[in-house]
Amino acid sequence: MKTGELANGVGLWLLDCVQDARALGAVVFALIALTFLVRYTRDRTVPGRDELLPFVSIAGSIISVVVVVAVFLLTKPPAVDRASPTLLVVAGSLTTIFLGNSVVRQIRTVMLPPGPKNAPTPPKPPEA
């Protein structure tokens, strides 16, 4: 089996997995379980609900990355026809949002570096 055929097969398999809600649920559950395990092993505490909410965006990012990699990098020709239209819209939207957010943060960091002008003023000590 050639490398291209193997990559194509892996890409098609990934697309099938991403379109299966059970597989997506298993990935999210595994991430949450891993977080519980790591946190409990390291700190002997259990993460709260607010600490687990970022997994919604993490799951969306994982789905987007898998779809983009499977459709455009692994399959030749790109297997756009194998992904459902809804999956393509969701993956494209999430990829745009997260990538755009990252770019805006980087631009802000370059244009407005922390320094004397942008640094917050320290609180004044109380007078006795």
**Model confidence over 53-96: pLDDT tens digits?**
777 777 777 778 888 888 888 888 888 888 888 888 888 888 88
Q: How far is CA 57 from CA 4, 7, 13, 29, 39, in A?
A: 32, 27, 23, 14, 20
Query: Residue 83: what pLDDT?
Result: 83
Q: How far is CA 93 from CA 9, 12, 63, 65, 102, in A?
A: 26, 21, 11, 12, 14
100-115 pLDDT per residue, tens: 888 888 888 877 767 6
Question: What percent of the chain has a predicted confidence (pLDDT) above 90?
Answer: 1
Q: Cβ neighbours of residue 90 under 8 Å, at least 6 residues apart?
A: 60, 63, 64
Indicate the pLDDT class of residue 30, thresholds 50, 70 and 90.
confident
Query: What value does the mean pLDDT take over residues 17-22?
Result: 80
Question: What percent of the chain has a predicted confidence (pLDDT) above 70?
Answer: 90
Query: Distance between CA atoms of 62 and 58, rounded to whole angstroms?
Result: 6
